[in-house]
Structure 1
């Protein structure tokens, strides 16, 4: 019986090869940022309001004209097929059926057109802008034609984070399957059988180029193509290419939130990439109030990194966020049961959020702003 995301995580740890589990669960360098994300969330307390009628409870919100069944969704997770083949499709189906948003990663392993087709709910496209602008243009055109509703520009990966566990395993870009990885795979025969039937995951949404058709070549292309020259003026270029809502993911500084307003961005996702990039970065929940002081109500602000319970989502909303996105939690559900496992994770978070709201005396997400937020630190 799995009663929490931690239960799903432990089950994933026992059913995935060690290098796959560490790829999903691990962080950069000493994993201090990874630890801070959850610790700072857990340090926040919410003081409930008493004698409130919550019999007409609703967790629904509206974002960019679309209804969400609850104020959380599925964050972009690259290379998710190493957890389970067709992982993007499983997760998108589960999110859509739950009435929750789904963000597809540029580094996904299923064609974006297929993912959009199976996703019944709000479906957004995450974008890495690379040195070759033609690659970004190709993804933009395909996403527009497929009907993706919003574009999410990730800005916190000018270079890949230094993830020591991946390096020790030999699990890095480009892939090199050495004896240690092969042994890890052999110890998980069910996982190995699924992967053998599906074939090696590929970054199918990278624009095909000469010499970049194999998984290794695509991975190497992605790793070396991140553009360190990306600046705010490039946001104007993207704005001219994309008519729908444009969000920036990876903002941690209030001045960057101010810049986003100046450049006509439609929303922010406060993110430190789940602690996978800059290990000395602050937790997302700790900087959220500073960003909300700048943004106020001028655009929706979302948050990710470290969210494991519905009460975490409630904490974020009480601090001003419009909603939260979950990545690792979804991957753990995917490892255990594909689409059904993801659906169970999303349902669990929704149930926890409802229970938390009732206990806090909140009938809708907006009521959470009335809670008194304190820190035990």
Structure 2
């Protein structure tokens, strides 16, 4: 891993970023591990088998567990099936789980690891851009219920995260573009250099062979690592990572998860930018920059205008709400996040009208 970049997340674990890394998973497991369950999406059997074979050669008793693709994996039923597999294989507290897949798999694998015997080690091997810069880093785990996204979960820091950039070459183009939403989010809340790299070559940013890809991933991971290190359990600062997510998660729920997470967050960022402008936090130029940079890489910035009541209901169930009070992360300016607590119904609907093209 001589060419790999290692980013430390607090005092807890490393995120390793580079190429040709799939055989290095064992080095992140730590001492005393005998059994490893490799949880992977069904579409990634080949990658998962490569990881399992590498672990077998290193002396681990590695087994595979395929789960449904995308959000269909994040259910209590799938988690229960994995718990049963762990029990039948005799997994102890010193054994480990490896999650190979996108954000949904890392959320699920982390949740199962957090809950099996009150916590076993987990290593994440994210295979999507979204997973690398967001879901795999930070120790938030979760599954969905019919009432909302990630309403059941736990904080459980991984033993390590391995980001093999070579894997992104096999990622469907639409998924790579969707992952850019979380990269761009990191630019708006903390690192404007990310925005400048994307704006300098928006067409290139949409390609897995983008010459800036590694720097974009490393910068986005550093933003998240810095925030998470300061606030592991989302008591205060970590809320800024939810920029665009309250409205974005509402879209996902209303659309029955047919939208990609990054697509929904893209619209969510425009929504909170408009909300910030209407409430006196942000200026017109910052709102325009949201629309311009997101549009330039092919992400959506508008949403249909006939779903307000459904969206509002979904937002009120969001885990970031406090009682009946809605909370949003907004920007006072570029890389200057703040909170907007309890905005009026007129403000909420006004921002929605603007996102809907009104």
Given the two structures, how large is their TM-score scaled by the length of structure 2? Answer: 0.29
Q: Which has the higher contact order (CA 8 A, sep 6+)?
A: 1
As a proportion of its length, which structure holds more strand? 2
